[in-house]
């Protein structure tokens, strides 16, 4: 039932106008840019798209735009995680109605749910819709709350549309627990990393990533994927190290610095909503010097 | 300083029924590791109950291991709460013929970064041997050797040549391997446990293994595949050892000793405050081991 979610999938930023309102025209450009530069899927709005700073109506509006603009060229998944679980369910139903290829959902925010409570949540969510659900594991951002390998196994056994996980623990033990327990139960389970940590995950059954750097350097992302899947480890190592330096640059006040970098690349996507700051001119200048030093300005597309 | 430790086995410490170090068995332990794939030995690590050994016994173990190892490198774990005590142990280890020193963050104090740098710098400065800092946040209440600490320590200690990492964090490993070798060419990332595929993909060149007491063949296969960049091929051994780790993990050293006993290598009970497993936990552990088909290829007895 599931379209395959693999490769370097782009989770786009949310372009905003100077008054912080949604910038529809630029969003269309962002989506097109990613599809043209090699994205194997589009997913919106992850945290870097400021999901938690958007209203539910705004999220529905742009979800519709994403599905319409991508128009079946690659699969589109909608990130539905919201503070209120009721909103999550509403966004999931909406995603199905507008023809999205799947949804993405993190463990519930704030309340530090138990394993049983997480299980109950995903069971209800998956059963409320008929499209694929990709779970999202991010223990370091959520006070240690995680979907363990064991819990994955229970969810796979119960739910035919529980098809994958965005794994953002970036931890060897947690990753192997999922790969060795979940994959034998559902061999096409999409085990993808939260950002481009392809080198440490592909040898263990990882099938891709949700990209952060793709709005800056899509060519490098594709090259990392190709070298990893080809088993060209020395080259992959070299690219992954470069990618780490980029991640270090962009994770600062994420996604403020990413949007700052997009200005340098000729693809401005506007400011960042509060409480996050917008990258200052000084920060942009620093980003520019880093990108220059890494050779990104010479090897990656400029403008839309 | 061109030392590279390769695959390092971290032996368990055998005790007699009376709780004393069982030297006769210990000789067998070391010979077992040497015969089953160890490029080097590290004593006494946490799995060797380092923190339950008075300073005198740590020194006896280091001397004993150097003599028994017959020229195979011995890495001495010189860790303590007190910087001076750890430094004195390191100095002793150098005189006793150890090849390198491993020092974990100091126990109990939850020190800030500046204190950690000072601690490591003083212990490293007490010796001229190659020095490794051990990042073990799970054992040490979350205290880490950060990349910033490692970079500062490079400036302070000319013999600081690597980090033994048990933290398993990809971002840390990648940032360390990006930054540290720029300041110190040849700087090493050593995996502090058997999650070698990810660490090896990033660039780890060594591995400190506790599970080698139970499944040394799988550990050797994993290590060799990773070092030869056969990372896809290494996945099976990686998953086998991850499964083994999960079986013994919850019960710590008692679980490791029980599993080694199940493989025909009895090393006695752990020292207090650790307890041997109670019957139900032991049965559960045995059941877990029985389910691991990978253990069928592993040596039984000494």
DSSP 8-state symbol, B11: P
Strand pairing category for B74-77 and A42-44: unpaired
Backbone angles phi, psi at A290, to 5 degrees: -65, -45
- Is the CB of A172 less than 8 angstroms away from the CB of B168? yes
pLDDT tens for residues B140-154?
888 999 999 999 999
Q: Report DSSP letters for B223-280, one per residue.
A: HHHHHTT-HHHHHHHHHHHHHHHHHHHTTHHHHHHHHHHHTT----PPPTTS-PPPHH
Q: Is residue B55 part of a domain?
A: yes
Nearest CA in chain B to A236: B201
pLDDT tens for residues B17-46?
999 999 999 999 999 999 999 999 999 999
Structural domain count of chain A: 1
CB count in 10 Å sphere of residue B93 = 29
Q: Does A138 reach chain B within 8 Å, measured CB to CB?
A: no
Give the domain extent around A21. Answer: 7-232
Which chain A residues have a beta carbon less than 8 Å from that of B242? 173, 176-177, 180
- Is the CB of B246 less than 8 angstroms away from the CB of A177? yes
Nearest C-alpha of chain A: how many angstroms from B236? 9
Q: Does B246 reach chain A within 8 Å, measured CB to CB?
A: yes
Structural domain count of chain B: 1
Q: Is residue A183 part of a domain?
A: yes
Q: Is residue B16 part of a domain?
A: yes
Nearest C-alpha of chain A: how many angstroms from B49? 23
Give the domain extent around B38. Answer: 7-230
- Is the CB of B201 less than 8 angstroms away from the CB of A172? no
CATH number, position A143:
3.20.20.70
- Rounded CA-CA distance B113/B105 in Å is 10
A-B contacts (CB, under 8 Å) = 74
Nearest C-alpha of chain A: how many angstroms from B196? 9
| Residue B172: burial class (beta carbons within 10 Å; 0-12, 13-18, 19+) | buried
> pLDDT tens digits for chain A (304 residues)?
446 899 999 999 999 999 999 999 999 999 999 999 999 999 999 999 999 999 999 999 999 999 999 999 999 999 999 999 999 999 999 999 999 999 999 999 998 899 999 999 999 999 999 999 999 998 888 888 899 999 999 999 999 999 999 999 999 999 999 999 999 999 999 999 999 999 999 999 999 999 999 999 999 999 999 999 999 999 999 999 999 999 989 988 889 999 999 999 999 999 999 999 999 999 999 999 999 999 999 999 999 9
Nearest CA in chain A to B200: A200
Nearest C-alpha of chain B: how many angstroms from A91? 32
Q: Is residue B60 part of a domain?
A: yes
- Is the CB of B202 less than 8 angstroms away from the CB of A248? no
Which of A140, A176, A234 should be substituted to probe chain B, the one whose Cβ sees the most B Cβ atoms within 10 Å? A176
Q: Is residue A271 part of a domain?
A: no
Q: Is residue B269 part of a domain?
A: no
Which residues 6+ apart lie within 8 Å of B276 measured at CB? Answer: B254, B257, B258, B269, B270
Q: Is residue A224 part of a domain?
A: yes
Which of B136, B144, B171, B245 should be substituted to probe chain A, the one whose Cβ sees the most A Cβ atoms within 10 Å? B171
Tell me the three state secondary structure of residue B217: helix
Which chain A residues have a beta carbon less than 8 Å from that of B229? 233-234
Q: Does A205 reach chain B within 8 Å, measured CB to CB?
A: yes
Nearest C-alpha of chain A: how many angstroms from B245? 10
Which tokens sit at B61?
């173990």
Q: What's the predicted TM-score (pTM) here?
A: 0.94
Closest in B171, B178, B238 to A176, CB measured? B238
């Amino acid at each position: 039932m599931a379209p395959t979610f693999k490769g370097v999938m782009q989770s786009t930023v949310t372009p905003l106008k100077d008054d912080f309102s949604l910038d529809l025209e630029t969003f269309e450009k962002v989506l097109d840019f990613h599809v043209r530069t090699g994205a194997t899927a589009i997913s919106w709005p992850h945290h870097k798209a400021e999901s938690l700073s958007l209203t539910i109506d705004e999220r529905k509006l742009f979800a519709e735009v994403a599905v319409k603009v991508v128009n079946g060229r690659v699969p589109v998944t909608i990130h539905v995680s919201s503070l209120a679980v009721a909103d999550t369910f509403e966004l999931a139903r909406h995603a199905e109605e507008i023809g999205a290829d799947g949804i993405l959902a993190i463990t519930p925010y704030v309340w530090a749910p138990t394993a049983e409570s997480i299980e109950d949540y995903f069971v209800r969510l998956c059963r409320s819709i008929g499209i694929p659900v990709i779970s999202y594991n991010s223990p370091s951002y959520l006070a240690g709350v995680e979907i363990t390998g064991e819990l994955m196994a229970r969810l796979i056994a119960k739910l035919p549309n529980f098809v994958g996980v965005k794994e953002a623990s970036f931890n060897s033990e947690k990753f192997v627990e999922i790969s060795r327990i979940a994959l034998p139960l559902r061999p096409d389970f999409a085990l993808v990393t939260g950002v481009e940590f392809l080198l440490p995950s592909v040898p263990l059954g990882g099938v891709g990533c949700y990209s952060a750097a793709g709005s800056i350097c899509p060519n490098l992302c594709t090259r990392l994927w190709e070298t990893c899947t080809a088993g060209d480890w020395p080259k992959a190592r070299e690219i992954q190290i470069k990618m780490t330096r980029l991640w270090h640059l962009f994770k600062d006040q994420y996604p403020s610095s990413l949007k700052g970098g997009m200005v340098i690349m000729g693809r401005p996507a506007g400011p960042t909503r509060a409480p996050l700051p917008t990258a200052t001119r000084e920060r942009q200048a620093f980003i520019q010097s880093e990108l220059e030093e890494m050779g990104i300005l010479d090897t990656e597309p400029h403008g839309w | 300083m061109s030392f590279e430790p390769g695959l390092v086995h971290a032996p368990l410490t055998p005790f007699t029924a009376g709780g004393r170090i069982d030297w006769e068995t210990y000789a067998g332990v070391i010979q077992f590791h040497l015969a089953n794939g160890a490029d080097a030995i590290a004593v006494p690590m946490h799995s060797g109950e380092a923190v339950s050994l008075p300073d005198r016994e740590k020194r006896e173990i280091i001397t004993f291991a150097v003599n028994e190892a017959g020229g195979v490198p011995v890495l001495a774990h010189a860790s303590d709460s007190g910087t001076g005590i750890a430094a004195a142990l390191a100095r002793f280890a150098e005189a006793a013929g150890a090849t390198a020193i491993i020092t974990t963050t100091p126990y109990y104090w939850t020190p800030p970064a500046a204190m950690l740098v000072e601690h490591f710098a003083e212990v490293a400065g007490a010796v001229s041997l190659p020095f490794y800092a051990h990042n073990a946040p799970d054992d040490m209440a979350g205290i880490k050797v950060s990349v910033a600490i490692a970079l500062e320590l490079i400036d302070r200690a000319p013999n600081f040549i690597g980090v033994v990492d048990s933290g398993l964090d990809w971002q840390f490993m990648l940032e360390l391997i990006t930054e540290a070798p720029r300041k110190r060419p040849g700087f090493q990332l050593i995996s502090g446990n058997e999650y070698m595929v990810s660490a090896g993909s990033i660039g780890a060149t060594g591995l400190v293994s506790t599970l080698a007491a139970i499944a040394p063949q799988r550990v050797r296969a994993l290590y060799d595949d990773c070092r030869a960049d056969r990372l896809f091929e290494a996945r099976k051994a990686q998953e086998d050892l991850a499964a083994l780790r999960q079986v013994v993990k919850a019960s710590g050293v008692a679980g490791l000793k029980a599993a080694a006993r199940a493989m025909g290598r009895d090393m006695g009970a752990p020292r207090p405050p650790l307890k041997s497993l109670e019957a139900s936990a032991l049965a559960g552990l045995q059941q877990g081991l029985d389910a691991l088909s990978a253990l069928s290829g592993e040596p039984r007895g000494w």
